[in-house]
Amino acid sequence: RCNSRLKKYLNLDNLRSKGIKKAKVHALLNCIALVAGTIALNIGVSASKAA
């Protein structure tokens, strides 16, 4: 599920740079963005339930 979301929503399929290091950095930044978005969404949901 994680890989499909990274490919579909965070453009992991279309790498524009060459090199394994740059591709790895691109993939890791996309993973961080996915996790950060999930955390932000969950914090917003829990804040609205508490109020």
In terms of pTM, does the model score above 0.85?
no
* Mean pLDDT to the nearest integer, 18-39: 89
% of the chain surpassing 70 pLDDT: 90
**With 70 as the cut, is the pLDDT of residue 39 above it?**
yes
Residue 51's pLDDT is what? 55
Tokens, residue 39: 């955390």
* Mean pLDDT to the nearest integer, 22-37: 89
Q: How far apart, in whole angstroms, are the C-alpha atoms of residue 44 and residue 15?
A: 32
Place of tokens 């591709």: 23
Between 48 and 2, residue with greater pLDDT: 2
Q: How far apart, in whole angstroms, are the C-alpha atoms of residue 46 and residue 43?
A: 5
Residue 32's pLDDT is what? 92
